[in-house]
Every structure is written in C-alpha cells, then in structure tokens.
C-alpha cells in the first residue's frame, strides 16, 4: 500500500510503500495524534525500514493502493 505523509513546513511529502494494512496505519496515526501531537508516528516500509515523523508536524496522511513500477516512457 502506498502511504503519503505531508509534513508542515516541508516542501515535499514523504512517500513510501508499506506492507501494513490501511487499518494498521490509521490506528498508528490516531494513536500518535491522540496525545496532542507530542508523540512520534512510527511506520514500517516494505523493506523493513522505519519511518518516524513527529506527530505534531503531520499535515495529512494519504493511503492508497499499491502502485506497480513504471517502466518505459508511457503507454501507447
């Protein structure tokens, strides 16, 4: 699943693929934001690396379908 996280005062969003379900990601985001944003949001990408974001700086979280690799210059 593709996860996009917008961070306040950052020009680019964080984008990565995760093996976690949408429900797991939503639960982790809710738990991080529950304490007034003083926690860290911790998610894992599909390679097992951790992505840490200060919860107080999260602007938005977008969950999407898994996107396949793009090959070539486009479709004909």
| pLDDT tens, position by position, 52-75 | 999 999 999 999 876 566 666 765
What pLDDT sits at residue 38? 80
For the chain, give every domain's residue range: 2-64
Q: In what order do the strands lie in the sheet with 14-17?
A: 14-17, 2-7, 58-64
CB atoms within 10 A of CB 30: 11
Give the global pTM.
0.79
């Amino acid at each position: 699943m593709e996860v996009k996280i917008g961070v306040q005062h950052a020009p680019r969003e964080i984008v990565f693929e995760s093996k976690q379900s949408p429900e797991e990601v939503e639960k982790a985001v809710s738990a991080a934001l529950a304490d007034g944003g003083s926690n860290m949001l911790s998610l894992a990408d599909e390679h097992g690396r951790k992505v840490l974001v200060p919860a107080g700086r999260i602007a938005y979280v977008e969950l999407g379908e898994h996107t396949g690799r793009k090959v070539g210059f486009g479709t004909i």
